[in-house]
Structure 1
Amino acid sequence: MTTANDFLMAGGTTSAKFPAIGTTVTGTIAREPEVQQQKDFQSGELKYWNDGKPMQQLMIVLATDERDPSVPDDDGERAVYVKGQMQKAVKEAIRKSSASGIAVGGTLTITYTADGEAKRGFNPPKVYTATYAPPSAATDFLNSGNSQEQQPAAPQAAPAPAAPAGVTPEALAALAQLTPEQKAALGIG
């Protein structure tokens, strides 16, 4: 679902492209995946099955290392539109990871591995493989909306050491508010 700020600040997310066999797109899931109706690539019209039901797809926005030098302020976010054979590959990757589903903070990698069999005069469908790594337990906790107000007051702790590379002060502050039992449950000391 599009949030008010996403709507207001959006300029559109660049689509991930899989132009040739061997192309891989990998990134961290940057926002909640969104189920949406497919559109015809040529006309932009919404697509429906023969029985009148809408054809659905899952849009997943990944924070990638990709940058297009011709696009000013390219932040590396790429939208992947999961449907058809790609949906099967992503579903299998999630199952193999033992995750219960896809989540913000998880890492998704999709690779275009082959062309399938062409049918009825259409181009051959692309065949994909995927891998998925769920977010860590600490990331799950921080993304779940838990805050100091929702948790019992933690005892005052000694000042925290300097943050390791890539850890934000906000994340450290949130972790500092955890009780020893919560830290143990997350596997952090």
Structure 2
Amino acid sequence: MVGHIGGEEIWGSCDLFDTAVGMTLDWKIVGPTTLKRARSGPSQVYRTQAHLYGRGYANAGHRVEHVAIAYLPRGSVTLNDAIWWTEPYNETVAVKALERANRLHTNLAALAQVGTEVRDAWITNLDRADGCFECHRYSDKPAGLPRPGRSVCMTTWPASYPPPATPPVGPTPPSAAPTHKRKKQKMSQTTADQANQYLMGGGGGPTWKFDSEGVRKVGTIASPPTARQETEYDPNNPGGGAPKFFPSGDPIMGIVVEVQTDERDPSVDNDEGVRTLYLEGRRLKEATRAAVRAAGANGLEVGGKLDITLTHYDTPGDRRSGRNWTIVYTPAGNAALMGDQEVGGQPSAPATPPPVSAPAPASAPAPAPAAAAESPADKAKQLKGLGLSEEQIAAQLGLDTSVVQMLIAA
């Protein structure tokens, strides 16, 4: 399995995997035009496909060092005309492809809730891929689009993709492929800059600390959460430990949340009460996830309120033992409607639960139907009403800005 798209498992079928050198191999039986182009390297599609195969074998526990494509001449009588391409396996190429596919899925699912016409209008305005074999059949085909198979394949690479290695030309045998120790990827490129900024101490406010049992803090999310790779604890270099990975090689990711509080530290110049909350470690992330689900939300959002209590350690008084949490999350819309909503900081008094009446002798009434989940359009309009820009709303909901614009206009 290479990954997930929209919650569905994505599997691939590679032609060959060489366990001796740790290399995937994909056969392409091609005509003279594609064979000629292959001398300059594979298309973006073929290259991405090769690294997705590599990720599938890596996830299955195999050592993957290289990916390769063998272009076999369909119209030739000798394999001497074949082209061999290979480069070191780069997980980032596969991860970026899956991220792009999931982003498209999220955009399309959000627009489909408004209407298929809105969704299709957004699709129509997307850029066409070079060499598209289908768009010529539809009425929205751009003027001048050539017949299928007649346009030149993409020879430039998007900036978000790592550049391809210089391809060796000619029928190089697999056994001659160089051996390189694969470096694990630290994090997705989309969050690397932000995560490194937090990792090295730049940006954000002081850490929102929970350093003793029973500590309870309340704050309002001040900016869209960001992802960063978790690191091992290094007492000699706090915050600078080695990155954490799952056994599969995937990075273990945490969430960084900027929270507006009433806390003020005299030692911090111009302290405005913004604190940085690091959602790291299985228990804290699971407690937060459960709180978000209990609130009927899809995730943390700007304006939402977090009420967090470090209830106790597994071993009382031992800060090195496991921590146990109680978390209540109030989504932005509900938090804004609460008359006693705090801007942040410590609550003035703990909330008192409503009294529970004794059960009546008569049969209990049927339970009220669950409230329908907010649609992406409702959320976008709600965040717009709170003063967020379209770019901020897009970052919060994980959508493209163009999609947010269509949701707000719907």
Range of TM-score over shorter length: 0.5 to 0.7
2:226 to 27, 34, 40: 34
Larger Rg, first or second structure (1 or 2) = 2
Alignment of 1:160-179 (within 5 A): none
1:77 to 274, 293, 310: 274
Q: How does the TM-score come out when normalised to structure 1?
A: 0.64
1:47 to 244, 258, 268: 244
Q: CA deviation at 1:117?
A: 6.1
Q: CA deviation at 1:46?
A: 2.0
Alignment of 1:97-116 (within 5 A): 97-116=295-314
1:29 maps to amino acid: I
Alignment of 1:40-189 (within 5 A): 40-42=232-234, 43=237, 44=240, 45-83=242-280, 84-116=282-314, 123-136=320-333, 140-142=383-385, 143=387, 145=389
Q: How does the TM-score come out when normalised to structure 2?
A: 0.31
2:225 maps to amino acid: P
Q: Which has the higher strand share?
A: 1
SS in 2 for 1:141: helix
Name the stretch that deviates more: 34-43 or 73-82.
34-43
SS in 2 for 1:89: helix
SS in 1 for 2:217: strand
Q: CA deviation at 1:11?
A: 4.3
Q: CA deviation at 1:92?
A: 1.2
- 1:15 paired with 2:202, answer no
1:75 maps to amino acid: E
Aligned to 2:157: none
Q: CA deviation at 1:89?
A: 1.2
Relative contact order (alpha carbons < 8 A, sep ≥ 6): 1 or 2 greater? Answer: 1
Looking at structure 1, the residues matched to 219 and 261 of structure 2 have their Cα atoms a distance apart, in angstroms, of 4
Q: % of aligned pairs identical?
A: 30
Structure 1 runs (4+) deviating above 6 angstroms are none
SS in 1 for 2:332: coil
Q: CA deviation at 1:91?
A: 1.0
SS in 2 for 1:91: helix
Unaligned regions of 5+ residues in structure 1, if any?
A: 147-181, 183-189
Verify the 8 A CA contact 2:303 2:332 in the aligned structure 1.
yes
Q: CA deviation at 1:49?
A: 2.9
Looking at structure 2, the residues matched to 88 and 114 of structure 1 have their Cα atoms a distance apart, in angstroms, of 16
Q: 1:92 to 1:15 in 2, by over 3 A?
A: same
Looking at structure 1, the residues matched to 320 and 292 of structure 2 have their Cα atoms a distance apart, in angstroms, of 28
Looking at structure 2, the residues matched to 67 and 82 of structure 1 have their Cα atoms a distance apart, in angstroms, of 22
Looking at structure 1, the residues matched to 304 and 222 of structure 2 have their Cα atoms a distance apart, in angstroms, of 9
SS in 2 for 1:15: coil
Q: CA deviation at 1:102?
A: 1.3
Q: Which has the higher helix share?
A: 2
Unaligned regions of 5+ residues in structure 2, if any?
A: 1-190, 334-378, 391-407
2:263 maps to amino acid: E
Q: Deviations over 1:18-58 (max 9, x none)?
A: 11111122211011101110123314132223443212111
Aligned to 2:182: none
Name the stretch that deviates more: 48-57 or 18-27.
48-57
Q: How many residues in Structure 1 have an aligned counterpart in Structure 2?
A: 140
1:22 maps to amino acid: G
